[in-house]
Amino acid sequence: MFDKGAHDRDYIDSTVVIARASGGMVRDKTTGEMRMGGDQKEHHTVSSFRNSMMYFNPVVIIAGDQNPRMPSKVPHAYCVLDYFKGTHIWSEKSGGYIMHRCRFEKFNATKPSWWQAQGTEDSVTLGALAKPFKQSCKHCGTVSEQVYLQGWMCLQPACESFWKLPPLSSDAEGLEPDKKSLEYDPRFLKQKTRWPIDDSIYPLTSDSASLSNQSVLGEDCSLAYWRGIMCPYCGRCNSRLHWTAWKCENKGCSFFKKVPHAIIPPTSLRDPYFPLSTQYTLSKDTHLLYVGLHVSFAHNYRINKYTIPGIDGFVVHMIANQTVIEEPGGADDMFVALQETDIGLRRRALKSGVLKGDNYTRHFLVNYGMPYKFIAATDSVSFEGAVRPVTDTRSRLNWPAKYILAQHQGKPVREIEADWKAKEFNEVLALGYFEDQKISYHDDGESGLGSTIATLSLGAPGTMRLRMKARHHSGISSKGLYNDNPPMPGCDKYDAPYQAHLKEVAKDLGFTAARNAPDAISMMLGHGDVVIMHGAAIQKYYEHAVEHEGKLRFALTCRYIDPDSLPDKDKPTYKVRPNSGNYDGAAVGRG
């Protein structure tokens, strides 16, 4: 993909594209000019370019409408040019750094190039000129083609004559070229590279919307099905934004296609090597030694309770057994019900992004009850008329949250009942994950949120990891700013006395860069498991991420959101009534 931020000597005509292979440009802090952001290591774009060349794999080039080198004005923000073959890759010096540049040649030269300026013809057909000039390097012996008109240069970065024009006299030193004046040698530029599969025609469109078109278990939740399609009516590339259907986002285009879904039966989630029973389920969680663990067993849940020294609060993983999973209205029933109803799960637009146009969350979500800060108020839905799995979630998560809080305070549940009721869960955030959709490290700490968050996990098994945030772990932010929060047990260099932390500059302590902390807790979330996080400090110092294996997973999270914390524009237009369900996990299985 090539868009704005073109480098000097980037080049596009109707048959040849030359661009740098990798390494983003950065704006120089002092001059404000764009320059290379550091020596280019063997970046994945370089290796995929090499693969294109060596395996004869043509690649598709996409150009943005802000690319200043395009020969004509292109019609859309991003446009697919065509298949190209990678033909040359070489090294150059740029601002003291070494960078890669590569040349692409149109794969099927018999096809017209739609991006060619109207009414013009290519002055030179590929291969019509003399062969490129070749020379071997006096120092390293490498034979290479002459790329620039100014003269042949050795383009091996390890060679002492790298990026130097030949000296004028034999005893003089070679000189680096004046970059501004460099021009491609037409013999190099317009050469034709033969491939055994030249001029084949490969399709440029994806057709995943019509993969099998049958109800194959989990197919509609697979990566191929949600990754994106080209609209069969208008040609626009669309992300899969709807939980149950494809829809073209082009205004005026009517393409809409429901995706057939075969219910994934809960029994298919069972792990034959880890059989589920009415006994307490075994644990697969792990944690670092500095984390405290207390295990208890109650009401069909194994309760792994984690505490972190220096942090006021806890994380609890309640691992469900067969009795709760299979009870009427339990995890199995909810998992099926969520597949039978469209509860409004959508991928939502994110505020910022590198690409033009809307960026979307990777996963699908919908918010019920009190609007959650990250979601536009208009996207929140009332509990009134909501389907069972949504209303049940609130009731089913109020119970374990109360139970765990009471246990933590060493009181019976009835003693905390009144306090809890005043700030009971008033929001359900439902997240739906298809294959390969994960949520990366983040925290759930927002002003106006209650200190207890409970999540019910349904479907494919997930892994939730918690780690200390890098700036607390390393005592320094990614921008190199010293973090003056007291160091936490478990962080890097915790043993350095706190006063010394405060007195010394970060550098003197050897805090040179923020590094990611190892995962302190890894919880294997099974179908029906509940996670409860309690305490603002956990969100302040720690972050968590969740990924899952399999085709379909739901996470239903309950919070208390203080209505007074919402700005007027975000206040709900409906009334958020108290929870009317009275689920009691202590009564489950009593007959």
Cα–Cα distance measured from residue 141 to residue 133, given in angstroms and rounded to the nearest whole number: 16
Determine if 231 is a binding residue for Zn ion (CB under 5 A). yes
527 among the known binding-site residues?
no
Q: Which is nearer to Zn ion, 162 or 335 (CB)?
A: 162
Angle ∠(358,433,516) on CA atoms, nearest 5: 80
- Output the smallest distance, CB 441 to Zn ion, in A: 9
Structure token digits, residue 512: 């040179």
Q: Which is nearer to Zn ion, 140 or 350 (CB)?
A: 140
Structure token digits, residue 104: 């692409």
Give the torsion through C-alpha atoms of 17, 20, 24, 25, to 10 deg.
-100
Q: Which is nearer to Zn ion, 90 or 255 (CB)?
A: 255
Q: Which stretch binds Zn ion (CB under 5 A): 73-81, 137-145, 394-402, 407-415?
A: 137-145
Residues 138-157 that bind Zn ion (CB under 5 A): 139-140, 154, 156
CB-count exposure of residue 573 (10 Å: 0-12, 13-18, 19+): exposed
Q: Which is nearer to Zn ion, 57 or 144 (CB)?
A: 144
- Output the smallest distance, CB 16 to Zn ion, in A: 25
Determine if 137 is a binding residue for Zn ion (CB under 5 A). yes
- Output the smallest distance, CB 239 to Zn ion, in A: 13
- Output the smallest distance, CB 235 to Zn ion, in A: 7
Q: Which stretch binds Zn ion (CB under 5 A): 106-114, 134-142, 410-418, 583-591?
A: 134-142
DSSP state of 344: -
Determine if 159 is a binding residue for Zn ion (CB under 5 A). yes
Cα–Cα distance measured from residue 16 to residue 421, given in angstroms and rounded to the nearest whole number: 69
The helix or strand, by DSSP H or E, that contains position 356, with its residue range, turns out to be none
What string of DSSP letters covers 167-224?
Answer: PSSTTSPPB---GGG--B-HHHHT-----TTTT-----S--GGGSS-S--TTGGGSHH
CB 237 within 8 A of CB 250: no
Determine if 255 is a binding residue for Zn ion (CB under 5 A). yes
Rounded to the nearest angstrom, the gap between the alpha carbon of residue 41 and the centroid of all alpha carbons in its chain is 23
Q: Which stretch binds Zn ion (CB under 5 A): 245-253, 338-346, 382-390, 465-473?
A: 245-253
Q: Which stretch binds Zn ion (CB under 5 A): 37-45, 244-252, 284-292, 428-436?
A: 244-252
Cα–Cα distance measured from residue 132 to residue 148, given in angstroms and rounded to the nearest whole number: 11
Radius of gyration of the chain, Cα coordinates, nearest whole angstrom: 30
Nearest to 18 by CA among 2, 5, 39, 35: 2
Q: Which is nearer to Zn ion, 325 or 370 (CB)?
A: 370
Cα–Cα distance measured from residue 244 to residue 258, given in angstroms and rounded to the nearest whole number: 6
Determine if 530 is a binding residue for Zn ion (CB under 5 A). no
Q: Which is nearer to Zn ion, 371 or 445 (CB)?
A: 445
Candidates 74, 129, 149, 253; binder of Zn ion (CB under 5 A) is 253
Q: Which is nearer to Zn ion, 175 or 263 (CB)?
A: 175
- Output the smallest distance, CB 429 to Zn ion, in A: 9
Q: Which is nearer to Zn ion, 104 or 425 (CB)?
A: 425
Q: Within a 10 A sphere around the Cβ of 213, how many other Cβ atoms?
A: 11
Rounded to the nearest angstrom, the gap between the alpha carbon of residue 329 and the centroid of all alpha carbons in its chain is 33
- Output the smallest distance, CB 168 to Zn ion, in A: 19
- Output the smallest distance, CB 454 to Zn ion, in A: 12
Q: Which stretch binds Zn ion (CB under 5 A): 199-207, 218-226, 247-255, 296-304?
A: 247-255
- Output the smallest distance, CB 505 to Zn ion, in A: 34
Q: Which is nearer to Zn ion, 334 or 533 (CB)?
A: 533
Q: Which stretch binds Zn ion (CB under 5 A): 1-9, 240-248, 312-320, 396-404?
A: 240-248
442 among the known binding-site residues?
yes
Q: Which is nearer to Zn ion, 235 or 578 (CB)?
A: 235
472 among the known binding-site residues?
no
Q: Which stretch binds Zn ion (CB under 5 A): 246-254, 283-291, 422-430, 510-518?
A: 246-254
Residues 421-460 that bind Zn ion (CB under 5 A): 444
Candidates 248, 390, 401, 520; binder of Zn ion (CB under 5 A) is 248
Determine if 158 is a binding residue for Zn ion (CB under 5 A). no
Determine if 250 is a binding residue for Zn ion (CB under 5 A). yes
Q: Which is nearer to Zn ion, 248 or 319 (CB)?
A: 248
- Output the smallest distance, CB 556 to Zn ion, in A: 12
Contacts made by residues 324-327, CB under 8 angstroms, sequence distance 24+: 324/299, 324/300, 324/528, 324/585, 324/588, 324/589, 325/266, 325/276, 325/527, 325/528, 327/588, 327/589
Tokens 């067993």 — which residue?
297
Phi-psi region of 157 (alpha: psi -120 to 50; beta: other; left: phi over 0): alpha
- Output the smallest distance, CB 204 to Zn ion, in A: 16
Helix then strand count (H, E) for the chain reads 10, 29
- Output the smallest distance, CB 190 to Zn ion, in A: 25
**Beta carbons within 8 Å of 20's beta carbon, 6+ residues apart:** 7, 10, 99, 100, 101, 102
**Beta carbons within 8 Å of 362's beta carbon, 6+ residues apart:** 347, 437, 438, 439
Q: Which stretch binds Zn ion (CB under 5 A): 34-42, 230-238, 260-268, 509-517?
A: 230-238
Q: Within a 10 A sphere around the Cβ of 436, how many other Cβ atoms?
A: 16
Q: How many residues of this chain interact with Zn ion, rule: CB under 5 A?
A: 15
Applying CB under 5 A, which residues contact Zn ion? 137, 139-140, 154, 156, 159, 231, 233-234, 236, 248, 250, 253, 255, 444
Task: Please report, in range form, the residues annotated as the binding site for 2-oxoglutarate.
Answer: 433, 442, 544
The annotated binding site is made up of 433, 442, 544
